[in-house]
Structure 1
Amino acid sequence: MARNITGEKRLNDFVQIAGVGAALETADGNIYTGISIDTACSMGFCAEHSAIAEMLKHGEYKIKAIVAVNDNGQAIPPCGRCRELISQLSSSNLHTIIEVKDGIRVPLSELLPYDWKEPSGPVW
Protein backbone atom coordinates (compact mmCIF):
# COMPACT_ATOMS: atom_id res chain seq x y z
CA MET A 1 0.00 0.00 0.00
CA ALA A 2 2.86 2.40 0.77
CA ARG A 3 4.36 1.81 -2.67
CA ASN A 4 1.04 2.66 -4.33
CA ILE A 5 0.99 6.19 -2.89
CA THR A 6 4.69 6.96 -3.34
CA GLY A 7 5.97 8.91 -6.30
CA GLU A 8 7.56 12.28 -5.73
CA LYS A 9 5.65 15.22 -7.12
CA ARG A 10 6.88 18.81 -7.17
CA LEU A 11 4.12 21.26 -6.31
CA ASN A 12 6.31 24.33 -6.87
CA ASP A 13 9.88 25.54 -6.25
CA PHE A 14 9.44 25.07 -2.51
CA VAL A 15 7.34 21.94 -1.94
CA GLN A 16 7.65 18.30 -2.97
CA ILE A 17 5.27 15.57 -1.84
CA ALA A 18 5.14 11.77 -1.80
CA GLY A 19 8.88 11.12 -2.02
CA VAL A 20 8.17 8.69 0.83
CA GLY A 21 4.98 6.77 1.47
CA ALA A 22 4.02 4.95 4.66
CA ALA A 23 1.44 2.38 5.67
CA LEU A 24 0.64 1.21 9.16
CA GLU A 25 -1.59 -1.46 10.63
CA THR A 26 -3.22 -0.77 13.97
CA ALA A 27 -3.74 -3.25 16.80
CA ASP A 28 -7.39 -3.39 15.64
CA GLY A 29 -6.31 -4.41 12.11
CA ASN A 30 -7.06 -1.13 10.32
CA ILE A 31 -4.66 0.25 7.71
CA TYR A 32 -3.73 3.92 7.37
CA THR A 33 -1.38 5.52 4.86
CA GLY A 34 0.47 8.79 4.52
CA ILE A 35 2.92 10.66 2.30
CA SER A 36 5.86 12.89 3.06
CA ILE A 37 5.71 16.64 2.60
CA ASP A 38 9.11 18.24 1.99
CA THR A 39 9.40 22.01 2.09
CA ALA A 40 12.25 24.43 1.49
CA CYS A 41 12.23 25.63 5.10
CA SER A 42 11.74 22.29 6.91
CA MET A 43 8.07 22.82 7.76
CA GLY A 44 6.99 19.56 6.15
CA PHE A 45 6.70 16.18 7.80
CA CYS A 46 7.36 12.50 7.34
CA ALA A 47 5.08 9.97 5.71
CA GLU A 48 4.89 8.07 9.00
CA HIS A 49 3.59 11.20 10.74
CA SER A 50 1.01 11.61 7.99
CA ALA A 51 -0.21 8.02 8.43
CA ILE A 52 -0.23 8.41 12.21
CA ALA A 53 -2.31 11.58 11.95
CA GLU A 54 -4.85 9.70 9.85
CA MET A 55 -4.92 6.89 12.43
CA LEU A 56 -5.39 9.32 15.32
CA LYS A 57 -8.20 11.03 13.44
CA HIS A 58 -10.01 7.68 13.58
CA GLY A 59 -9.47 7.28 17.33
CA GLU A 60 -6.69 4.69 17.27
CA TYR A 61 -3.18 4.95 18.70
CA LYS A 62 -1.75 1.43 19.00
CA ILE A 63 0.35 0.37 16.01
CA LYS A 64 0.95 -3.28 15.16
CA ALA A 65 3.29 -2.66 12.20
CA ILE A 66 4.54 0.20 10.04
CA VAL A 67 6.62 0.59 6.90
CA ALA A 68 7.87 3.57 4.93
CA VAL A 69 9.17 3.27 1.38
CA ASN A 70 11.21 5.66 -0.73
CA ASP A 71 10.49 6.77 -4.28
CA ASN A 72 12.10 3.54 -5.54
CA GLY A 73 9.74 1.43 -3.43
CA GLN A 74 12.45 0.30 -1.00
CA ALA A 75 11.68 0.07 2.72
CA ILE A 76 13.49 2.67 4.81
CA PRO A 77 13.74 3.05 8.61
CA PRO A 78 11.85 5.81 10.41
CA CYS A 79 13.74 8.88 11.55
CA GLY A 80 14.25 9.55 15.25
CA ARG A 81 11.31 11.96 15.38
CA CYS A 82 8.97 9.27 14.01
CA ARG A 83 10.36 6.61 16.34
CA GLU A 84 9.75 8.88 19.31
CA LEU A 85 6.20 9.77 18.23
CA ILE A 86 5.28 6.11 17.83
CA SER A 87 6.67 5.30 21.29
CA GLN A 88 4.89 8.20 22.99
CA LEU A 89 1.44 7.26 21.67
CA SER A 90 1.37 4.04 23.72
CA SER A 91 3.95 2.03 25.65
CA SER A 92 2.64 -1.03 23.77
CA ASN A 93 3.98 0.54 20.59
CA LEU A 94 7.48 -0.48 21.66
CA HIS A 95 6.36 -3.84 20.22
CA THR A 96 5.43 -2.26 16.85
CA ILE A 97 7.08 -4.18 14.02
CA ILE A 98 8.99 -1.87 11.72
CA GLU A 99 10.36 -2.86 8.33
CA VAL A 100 13.71 -1.06 8.35
CA LYS A 101 14.95 -2.51 5.07
CA ASP A 102 13.27 -4.74 2.51
CA GLY A 103 12.56 -8.00 4.35
CA ILE A 104 14.15 -6.89 7.65
CA ARG A 105 11.64 -6.27 10.42
CA VAL A 106 12.39 -5.36 14.03
CA PRO A 107 10.34 -4.18 17.02
CA LEU A 108 10.53 -0.49 17.82
CA SER A 109 12.22 -1.38 21.12
CA GLU A 110 15.31 -2.43 19.13
CA LEU A 111 15.44 1.02 17.55
CA LEU A 112 14.96 2.71 20.94
CA PRO A 113 16.97 0.47 23.29
CA TYR A 114 17.26 3.12 26.02
CA ASP A 115 13.81 4.64 25.88
CA TRP A 116 13.71 7.57 28.29
CA LYS A 117 10.11 6.76 29.25
CA GLU A 118 10.91 3.27 30.53
CA PRO A 119 12.07 2.63 34.12
CA SER A 120 14.85 0.41 32.77
CA GLY A 121 16.10 3.26 30.57
CA PRO A 122 19.04 5.50 31.41
CA VAL A 123 19.14 7.48 34.61
CA TRP A 124 19.91 11.11 33.93
Structure 2
Amino acid sequence: MSITWQVLYNEAKNKLNPRTISPFIDAGGVAAALLTKGGNIYTGVCIDTSCTLGMCAERNAIANMITNGESQIEKLVCVMGDGSVGSPCGACREYLMQLDKESGQMEILVDLESEKVVKLSALIPDWWGTSRFE
Protein backbone atom coordinates (compact mmCIF):
# COMPACT_ATOMS: atom_id res chain seq x y z
CA MET A 1 0.00 0.00 0.00
CA SER A 2 1.47 3.31 -1.05
CA ILE A 3 0.53 6.42 0.87
CA THR A 4 1.68 9.65 -0.72
CA TRP A 5 3.28 12.45 1.23
CA GLN A 6 0.31 14.67 0.34
CA VAL A 7 -2.09 12.29 2.13
CA LEU A 8 0.08 12.28 5.27
CA TYR A 9 0.49 16.05 5.10
CA ASN A 10 -3.29 16.53 4.80
CA GLU A 11 -3.93 14.17 7.74
CA ALA A 12 -1.58 16.22 9.92
CA LYS A 13 -2.72 19.62 8.68
CA ASN A 14 -6.35 18.69 9.38
CA LYS A 15 -5.40 18.19 13.05
CA LEU A 16 -3.93 21.69 13.43
CA ASN A 17 -6.16 23.59 15.82
CA PRO A 18 -4.21 25.98 18.04
CA ARG A 19 -6.10 26.55 21.28
CA THR A 20 -5.69 27.34 24.93
CA ILE A 21 -6.76 24.49 27.18
CA SER A 22 -6.10 26.32 30.45
CA PRO A 23 -3.89 29.19 31.69
CA PHE A 24 -1.08 26.60 31.74
CA ILE A 25 -1.65 24.55 28.58
CA ASP A 26 -1.80 25.35 24.86
CA ALA A 27 -2.34 22.65 22.27
CA GLY A 28 -2.67 22.00 18.56
CA GLY A 29 -0.13 24.47 17.19
CA VAL A 30 1.89 21.68 15.57
CA ALA A 31 0.54 18.39 14.21
CA ALA A 32 2.14 15.17 13.00
CA ALA A 33 1.08 12.17 10.98
CA LEU A 34 2.96 8.91 10.70
CA LEU A 35 2.57 5.87 8.49
CA THR A 36 3.35 2.53 10.07
CA LYS A 37 4.90 -0.46 8.35
CA GLY A 38 1.44 -2.03 8.76
CA GLY A 39 -0.03 0.69 6.51
CA ASN A 40 -1.90 2.62 9.21
CA ILE A 41 -1.82 6.37 9.81
CA TYR A 42 -1.71 7.88 13.30
CA THR A 43 -1.82 11.57 14.15
CA GLY A 44 -1.07 13.77 17.12
CA VAL A 45 -0.81 17.41 18.14
CA CYS A 46 1.58 19.19 20.45
CA ILE A 47 0.58 19.88 24.02
CA ASP A 48 2.63 22.73 25.47
CA THR A 49 2.60 23.16 29.26
CA SER A 50 3.99 25.72 31.67
CA CYS A 51 5.80 22.98 33.60
CA THR A 52 7.59 21.53 30.51
CA LEU A 53 5.79 18.19 30.87
CA GLY A 54 4.03 18.65 27.55
CA MET A 55 4.23 16.46 24.51
CA CYS A 56 5.36 17.12 20.95
CA ALA A 57 3.00 16.23 18.13
CA GLU A 58 5.30 13.40 17.00
CA ARG A 59 5.31 11.76 20.43
CA ASN A 60 1.54 12.15 20.65
CA ALA A 61 1.17 10.34 17.29
CA ILE A 62 3.59 7.66 18.52
CA ALA A 63 1.49 7.22 21.67
CA ASN A 64 -1.57 6.69 19.48
CA MET A 65 0.34 4.15 17.39
CA ILE A 66 1.58 2.22 20.43
CA THR A 67 -1.90 2.30 21.98
CA ASN A 68 -3.10 0.57 18.82
CA GLY A 69 -0.44 -2.16 18.99
CA GLU A 70 2.14 -0.94 16.47
CA SER A 71 5.71 0.26 16.86
CA GLN A 72 7.35 0.49 13.41
CA ILE A 73 7.18 3.75 11.48
CA GLU A 74 7.80 4.05 7.75
CA LYS A 75 7.09 7.75 7.14
CA LEU A 76 6.59 10.87 9.28
CA VAL A 77 5.30 14.38 8.55
CA CYS A 78 5.37 17.29 11.00
CA VAL A 79 3.24 20.33 10.13
CA MET A 80 3.92 23.69 11.75
CA GLY A 81 1.25 26.23 12.61
CA ASP A 82 1.87 28.14 9.36
CA GLY A 83 1.31 24.99 7.27
CA SER A 84 4.97 24.38 6.49
CA VAL A 85 6.62 21.06 7.23
CA GLY A 86 9.27 20.77 9.89
CA SER A 87 11.78 18.38 11.32
CA PRO A 88 11.39 16.61 14.67
CA CYS A 89 13.12 18.19 17.66
CA GLY A 90 16.09 16.45 19.28
CA ALA A 91 13.98 14.77 21.96
CA CYS A 92 11.62 13.36 19.33
CA ARG A 93 14.52 12.15 17.19
CA GLU A 94 15.84 10.21 20.17
CA TYR A 95 12.39 8.84 20.99
CA LEU A 96 11.90 7.74 17.36
CA MET A 97 15.28 5.98 17.27
CA GLN A 98 14.47 3.96 20.37
CA LEU A 99 11.28 2.47 18.90
CA ASP A 100 12.80 -0.13 16.58
CA LYS A 101 16.16 -1.27 15.22
CA GLU A 102 15.03 -0.12 11.74
CA SER A 103 13.94 3.34 12.87
CA GLY A 104 16.94 4.99 11.25
CA GLN A 105 15.44 4.09 7.85
CA MET A 106 12.26 6.05 8.59
CA GLU A 107 11.58 8.74 6.00
CA ILE A 108 10.79 12.26 7.22
CA LEU A 109 9.32 14.84 4.86
CA VAL A 110 11.29 18.10 4.95
CA ASP A 111 9.81 19.84 1.86
CA LEU A 112 6.26 19.20 0.69
CA GLU A 113 6.53 20.84 -2.73
CA SER A 114 9.55 18.81 -3.86
CA GLU A 115 8.68 15.83 -1.62
CA LYS A 116 12.23 15.98 -0.29
CA VAL A 117 12.76 13.45 2.46
CA VAL A 118 15.56 12.58 4.83
CA LYS A 119 16.10 9.41 6.78
CA LEU A 120 16.04 9.65 10.54
CA SER A 121 19.60 8.29 10.65
CA ALA A 122 20.75 11.45 8.83
CA LEU A 123 19.20 13.59 11.58
CA ILE A 124 20.76 11.61 14.41
CA PRO A 125 24.04 10.13 13.11
CA ASP A 126 26.23 7.85 15.20
CA TRP A 127 23.33 7.08 17.49
CA TRP A 128 24.48 5.77 20.87
CA GLY A 129 21.94 2.91 21.14
CA THR A 130 22.54 0.95 17.94
CA SER A 131 24.46 -1.88 19.65
CA ARG A 132 21.64 -2.54 22.11
CA PHE A 133 19.41 -3.75 19.26
CA GLU A 134 21.90 -6.45 18.25
TM-score by length of 1: 0.91
Q: CA RMSD in A?
A: 1.1
State the match for 1:26 in structure 2.
Answer: 36
Between the aligned partners of 1:46 and 1:100, the Cα distance in structure 2 is: 17
Instruction: Provide structure 1 residue ranges, at least 5 long, that are not aligned to the other structure.
Output: 120-124
Partner amino acid for 2:93? R
Partner amino acid for 2:98? Q
Deviation at 1:113, TM superposition (A): 1.1
Match of residue 60, structure 2, among 50, 65, 78: 50
Equivalent residue of 1:91, what SS?
coil
% identity of equivalent residues: 41
Q: Is the 8 A contact 1:77 1:101 kept in 2?
A: no
4+ long deviations beyond 2 Å: 100-104
Between the aligned partners of 2:93 and 2:111, the Cα distance in structure 1 is: 15
Instruction: Provide structure 2 residue ranges, at least 5 long, that are not aligned to the other structure.
Output: 1-10
Q: Are 2:94 and 1:105 equivalent residues in the alignment?
A: no
State the match for 2:12 in structure 1.
Answer: 2
Between the aligned partners of 1:22 and 1:64, the Cα distance in structure 2 is: 14
TM-score by length of 2: 0.84
Between the aligned partners of 1:42 and 1:117, the Cα distance in structure 2 is: 25
Deviation at 1:93, TM superposition (A): 1.0
Equivalent residue of 2:35, what SS?
strand
State the match for 2:86 in structure 1.
Answer: 76
Between the aligned partners of 2:69 and 2:51, the Cα distance in structure 1 is: 31
Equivalent residue of 1:35, what SS?
strand
